[in-house]
Chain A
Amino acid sequence: MHPLVQQLVSRGPVITDGAWGTELQARGLGLGDFPDAWNLTHPDRVGEVARAYVEAGSQVILTNTFGANRLRLGEHAAADRLAEINARGVEISLQAAAGRARVFASIGPTGKLLMSGEVTADELRAAYAEQAQSLAQAHPDGLVVETMSDLEEATLAVTAARQTGLPVVACMVFDSGKDKDRTMMGATPEQAAQALTAAGADVIGANCGQGVAGFVAICRRLHASTDRPVWIKANAGLPTMVDGRPKYSVTPEEFAGYIPELIEAGANFVGGCCGTRPDFIAAITQRLTAARAP
């Protein structure tokens, strides 16, 4: 096990962060604006989000770099500033953490399907290598390959991320099939855990796709299929629209209520994805602190 990962998980469950996009929108990011570009234009507001999570108790925070790969940036005509967007994203989170939390830099999917021929494996490899190197230059504590639907793409990303020598978390979205326990491409938690372990990921996990209740069984199956620690970031359920804005019916306390079950199912890192906010992380912190109290 990577020494840093070992060190983090040896003290019990590690609290990660919640969603970023919605927090940035609350601070003025417009519909359709590219969130990652804010690392250059509004670093103060991106820093506010990172700080809100650290203050809520996150021990690991991510970075605002989810979409900062060449294939996605190309859509935003910002590809020439790729290295800068990634590096600034890491710096902003490191500064907000100020030693109180570890920073794992986010690497999201390219949004292109290998299977349909929109992109080749070589193009994916190059895009992920480029982003991972740009992130690594700003010295994060680790990298997170997240929200992946295609195991083949995830494996290419993990391989590229590992070249940096940083610990690598790899997590997939399980939201397909009648039991919502497959990736979009049909992989089971067992298949994902085995392939990502073989690719050399230091931590294996699941994020996004469905509400927290569905994650307990997935977590158990991931845990049973790998010797690596497990990372879980669930959604707050599906939103309903209230006054034109998405509203999630799950409260921070209800969400946090699932955390003991997730830990029992083998989760070592716990946090939230879409619909979760700093108050969700605060609720998790409170619950875990209470559980630790003598």
Chain B
Amino acid sequence: MPDLKQLYESVVNGDAKATQAITQQALADGVDPLKLVNDYMVPAMDEVGRRFEANEYFVPELLISARAMKAALELIRPLLTARGDQPLGRVAIGTVKGDLHDIGKNLVGSLLEGGGFEVIDLGVNVTPEKFISTIQEKNANIIAMSALLTTTMPSMKTTIDALKQAGVREKVKVLIGGAPITQKYADEIGADGYSENAVGAVALAKKAVTVA
């Protein structure tokens, strides 16, 4: 039986190899996979988030911790799926129509996966129609849109309007982010949430699925 505190430490330190090895050993020893996620890995990602907010961690550290978490989830997710456990939520994420800048989107996607969400990455330059079909066909319940440019942020409003027209707006929570985005803009276009950074996005998504 491995020392599970080491699992927490290895995620915080972004050590993917150790995270995966400890997870593998723990699963072999019969530890409940959900316990690994909820008692060790999620708190570890919370700590990573705390360090980010405190200026101790920056994007590189977030990325390597998310990568460590992902390495463990690759072992755990099939087990959870096999026994019928649902993910926290299904997030369809993409940069909006016209916008090809995906660094922020990729980072948020990794952290959401680390936070227990199933992430459907639609890539860049995603049309409203694509978001709509993902809601209809894959049961996404969160739409996460990113825009880096002031020139492309109007696509967020276009997408929300298209969701309404297609009659799927009430099925999802819409979260937005990106350099030019503000809470005020989110309110104006009727989005359900805005986060200034990737760590905040995970908290936002959790809130979105719990107050559904």
Contacts and interface: CB of A to CB of B under 8 A. Distances in A.
A176 interface: yes
Nearest to B189: A241
A31 B58 CA distance: 32
Interface stretch (A39-47, A110-118, A194-202, A222-230): A110-118
Interface stretch (A57-65, A182-190, A212-220, A260-268): A182-190
Q: A-side binding surface: helix, strand, loop or mixed?
A: loop
B125 interface: yes
A32 to B, nearest CB: 3
Contacts of A115: 59-60, 63
B179 A182 contact: no
B13 interface: no
Secondary structure call for the B interface: loop
A28 interface: no
A177 B62 CA distance: 13
Interface stretch (B40-48, B71-79, B86-94, B100-108): B100-108
Nearest to B181: A238
A22 interface: yes
Contacts of B157: 241, 244
A22 B179 contact: no
Contacts of B102: 111
B151 A241 contact: no
Given A32-B98, A241-B153, A184 B58 contact: yes
Contact of B180 (A31, A111, A116, A246): A246
A91 interface: no
Given A186-B60, A246-B180, 17 more contacts: A21-B149, A21-B151, A22-B151, A31-B98, A31-B154, A32-B98, A32-B152, A75-B100, A113-B63, A115-B59, A179-B55, A185-B59, A238-B180, A238-B182, A240-B184, A240-B185, A274-B180
Q: What 7 pairs across the A-B complex have the smallest Cβ distances?
A: A186-B58, A32-B98, A246-B150, A31-B98, A177-B55, A239-B150, A244-B154
